[in-house]
Amino acid sequence: MARVELSFKKGDSLFHRMTPFSKLLLVLSVSFVAIFNTNLYVGAGLFVFCVVLAVFFTGVPVRQYWALGRIILPFILILAVVFPFFYGGQATVGSDTIALRTPIKDLSWAALGFGALLALRFLALATAGLAFAFTTHPTDMVQNLSRRGWDYRLVHAPVLGLVLFPSFLELGREISITQRIRDLGQNTNWFKRKWIRMRHLTFAMLVLGLRNGQTQAMALDIRGYGAHKTRTFMREVPKHRGGEIFAWVFFVLSVIYLIYEFNPATMQWNIER
């Protein structure tokens, strides 16, 4: 069975002591800045900031980040390499001087900078996301958010997702193996076979996934899930005043930066044009 790598790692770091809500605020702030930023230096700074947080303030070994990071690294590299060819002045991240001549298209420093910006964007998102996942106990998140008025059944859904995802992956793997064993799409060309198999996989996973989901739903119901509008929590949610202030300060700074980014006078993507 596949293992859940995105699981909580026990610890006593600053991040562990911050409330899930503070961390969520911080991660969302990082995400919005990373997504809407058009400045290469801010992008680089944000990535360095995330790495410093992850390495020094989460208490999680770098190899844990690398174990997952290496999975998405090829995707990020593809972005960095492919997107410069589609650069059309979306962001001013370098001069128009030709930096690289290729058989497809000559790439300017701005185009290369654009690729780098995209890569930095996803690196920052991934690092911040992993720092959150590694240091946030799912139940604490459920508790923290439901104490802030969210329906606990809604916020428990990600926890269920973590529990069910490996089984779901395993189901898909087994059905794929079956398709190979039974040579589904035999005597058809490659494309048609892939299409037939994808269609069957979707249908079988839907049927079997729903059936498993039904049993899971019964198991939840039997254990009083939804019996009352609220629930108690046996774990004490961590609290760290300094961490909370830090998250709010970063949030405010992010908002200010985003206002600057979206200011028609300064923004590089002129929507009105």
Partner 1 sequence: MKSGEPALVLEDYSFWFKPPAGQPEGPAALVDVSFEIGAGDFVLILGRSGSGKSTLALNLVGIYPDYFGGRNQGRMLIRDPERGLINRRELAAAERFRRVNMLFQSPEDQIVTLTVEEEVGFALENYLFEPPEIHRRIDRALDLVGLTGFRERQMLQLSGGEKQRVALAAMLALEPSVLILDEPTSNLDPAGTADVLTTIDRVRARLGLTVLVIEHEVDEVFDRVDSVLLVEDQRVLGPFTPRQFIEERGLYVRDEMGLWIPQAAEVALELRAQGIDLGTVPLNGDELVAAVEAQGCAIPFAARVPRSSPRTAKAPPPAVIEVQDVSFSYGDRQVLTGVTCTARRNELLAIVGQNGSGKSTLASLFNGIAQPDSGVVLVDGIPTVDYDFAQLAKRVAHIFQMPEKQFVRNTVYDEIAHGLRALELSEAEVDERTVEFLKTVRLLDRREASPYVLSHGQKRRLSVAAMVVGQPEVVVLDEPTFGQDYYQARNLMRLLRQLADDGAAVVFITHDMRLVAEYADRSAVLCDGEIIFDGTPSGLFAAGEVLERARLKPPSVYEFAARLLKEPVLTTPALIEIIQEEIRG
Chain residues binding partner 1 by CB under 8 A are: 1, 3-4, 7-8, 138-139, 159-160, 162-163, 166-167, 171, 174-175, 177-184, 186-187, 200, 204, 207-208, 211-212, 215-216, 218-228, 230-236
Nearer to partner 1, 230 or 263 (CB): 230
Residue 137 Cα to chain centre, angstroms? 17
User: Minimum CB separation from partner 1 for residue 211, in Å?
Assistant: 8
User: Minimum CB separation from partner 1 for residue 126, in Å?
Assistant: 21
User: Minimum CB separation from partner 1 for residue 64, in Å?
Assistant: 14
Radius of gyration, alpha carbons of the chain: 23
Q: Where are the beta strands (DSSP E) in 50-193?
A: 98-101, 106-108
- C-beta of residue 106 within 8 angstroms of C-beta of residue 100: yes
Nearer to partner 1, 105 or 148 (CB): 148
- What burial letters (b/e) apply to 225-260, b meaning 16+ CB within 10 Å? eeeeeeeeeeeebbebeebbebbeebbeebeebbee
User: Minimum CB separation from partner 1 for residue 82, in Å?
Assistant: 30
Distance of alpha carbon 37 from alpha carbon 26, whole angstroms: 16
Nearer to partner 1, 106 or 221 (CB): 221
User: Minimum CB separation from partner 1 for residue 198, in Å?
Assistant: 13
User: Is beta strand 106-108 parallel, antiparallel or unpaired with respect to 98-101?
Assistant: antiparallel
Backbone phi, then psi, for 100, in 5-degree steps? -145, 130
Nearer to partner 1, 192 or 235 (CB): 235
Nearer to partner 1, 56 or 66 (CB): 66
